[in-house]
Amino acid sequence: MIELREVSKKYGRGAVGADAVSMTVEPGNIVALFGPSGSGKTTILHMIGLLLKPDSGEVIIEGDRVDNLPESALADVRRNRLGFVFQSFGLIPLLSAEENVEVAMRLLGRGGPTAKAAVTSALERVGIDHRARHRPGEMSGGEQQRVALARALVHGPQVILADEPTGELDTATATYVLDMLRSVARSGTVVVLATHDPLALEFVDEAFFVRDGTLHRPDRGELQLWLTEGEGDLATE
């Protein structure tokens, strides 16, 4: 379980990234943060992922407060308990798909046959094992995102955080990736995405709207209209 308790983050000149945000995500659920650029959704995602330290409030993972840990301990939590998927994929160009996924295991000091089997299993799980020996430049964007997802899953994290995971994908591939993320959530992992993609509404258990660093629970119909038309105000609670 992930819990944010009144977390806030401000940037230079008083710009607000997050303002007293509280939310709870239970294992098995997939949650989306929607909102315009600069609204604060990526700030919230990065605080959950311990990539940003909140100015106030608490970040709880599986009952443990983690935001106040020293940097060495934060890095350990990120490596062992979290998995990250980004819009730009973040793959190493000179490494094959298999080797890119293996990097996550090496960072944990895991090697040998057990680690190799975990890499193969992760690639099979996302349906990209047939491209295991290909480098990113030899793969489509959708294939690269599957490799990135395999890398995020390979060590069995408690939480998957995805920042615009479908931003560079066509509709068919985006549907596959979102369906895979939902499947990952149903296996007991917490999944949180920050996204502009209206398609994501079909796959998430809960949808939040972020505006000026604050979190709202809008009516889904209104949110769908806002995402599709991209104009007008959105009534929020």
Q: Could you report the per-residue pLDDT of 161-199, keeping only the tens digit for each? A: 999 998 888 899 899 999 999 999 999 999 999 998 889
CATH code 3.40.50.300 region(s) in the chain: 1-68+158-237
Q: What band does 153 get if pLDDT is binned at 50, 70 and 90?
A: very high
The residue among 220, 152, 223, 148 whose CA lies nearest residue 191 is 152
* 237, pLDDT greater than 70: no
Q: What band does 12 get if pLDDT is binned at 50, 70 and 90?
A: confident
Name the pTM for this structure.
0.87
Tell which CATH classification among 3.40.50.720, 3.30.230.70, 3.10.105.10, 3.40.50.300 matches the domain 1-68+158-237: 3.40.50.300
Mean pLDDT value of segment 139-149: 92
> Distance (Å, rounded) from C-alpha 34 to C-alpha 155?
28
Q: Could you report the per-residue pLDDT of 49-97, keeping only the tens digit for each? A: 999 999 999 999 988 999 999 999 998 999 889 999 987 888 999 999 9
**DSSP assignment of 77-93, as one string?**
HHHHHEEEEETT----T
Mean pLDDT value of segment 105-114: 85
Diameter of the chain measured on Cα atoms: 55
Q: Cα-Cα-Cα-Cα dihedral of 46, 49, 51, 55, to 10°?
A: 70
Residue 148: per-residue pLDDT: 93
Quote the percentage of the chain above a pLDDT of 90: 59
Residue 230: per-residue pLDDT: 63
Mean pLDDT value of segment 199-220: 89
Tokens found for residue 226: 């806002």
Q: What average pLDDT does the chain have?
A: 89
What does the DSSP 8-state code read for residue 201? G
Tokens found for residue 205: 């258990």
Residue 109: per-residue pLDDT: 83
Q: Could you report the per-residue pLDDT of 15-38, keeping only the tens digit for each? A: 778 899 999 999 899 999 998 888
> Distance (Å, rounded) from C-alpha 99 to C-alpha 59?
32
* 234, pLDDT greater than 60: no
* 232, pLDDT greater than 70: no
